[in-house]
Structure 1
Amino acid sequence: MQSQNPFLDEMAKLTSSAMSLAQAAGEEAKAAMRSQADRFVADMDLVRRDEIDALKAEIAALREDVAALKSAKAARTKPADPAAGI
């Protein structure tokens, strides 16, 4: 036979309630911290990684264009070699 102890039943209910309350408080604290972190990142005006990668690709393309323009200019303005005409 099982014996029913009202004190132990109440303690189990109280413990169960305390655990669910602690879990809810933990979730609330996690949500508050996430919100604070999001606000901090927004205030810092940080740049996302994909934007940095796009700028790097654009800069690399511009450097190639500049190098091509410099070599074309150097080819046009190259002085004639006087020894080549002999």
Structure 2
Amino acid sequence: MQQNRLFDDFARLMTDAAGAAQGVRREAETMVKAQIERMLRDMDVATREEVEVLRDLVASLRAQNDALAARVAALEAKPSEAKPSEAKPSEKPASAKARGAASGGTATA
């Protein structure tokens, strides 16, 4: 019976040691986690929510950019139809004074 009691005491001791080891492990994990969180806060790292908001914003802006690029390409592909009132400066009709001087006559304004 003495041997049985010895095994019981040893088993109880091992169980207590395992429980204590788990407690120490949990405490160490808690301390490490707190330290890591503090370091991340000090580093000003973006949170998951902030990253998701930015990802959605970038996707929206990319879609807008693609739509605008397609619109610009469509506008550039249209043949340029110059209206008579939109003549280039070098194509403006000469004034009466300039025409008269060019023809050698006198112009009256």
Rg larger in 1 or in 2? Answer: 2
Which consecutive unaligned segments of at least 5 residues does structure 2 have?
Answer: 83-109
The answer to whether 1:34 aligns with 2:5 is no
Higher relative contact order by CA 8 Å / sep ≥ 6: 1 or 2? 2
Distance 1:36 1:25, change over 3 A: same
RMSD over aligned CA atoms reads 3.0
Number of aligned pairs? 78
- Sequence identity percentage: 28
The secondary structure found in structure 1 opposite 2:10 is helix
Kindly state the Cα deviation for residue 18 of structure 1 after the two structures are TM-superposed.
1.4
Q: How does the TM-score come out when normalised to structure 2?
A: 0.50
* Structure-2 separation of matches of 1:17 and 1:36: 28
Hey, what's the Cα distance between the residues in 2 that align with 1:41 and 1:77? Answer: 57
Q: Which runs of 4+ in 1 moved over 6 A?
A: none
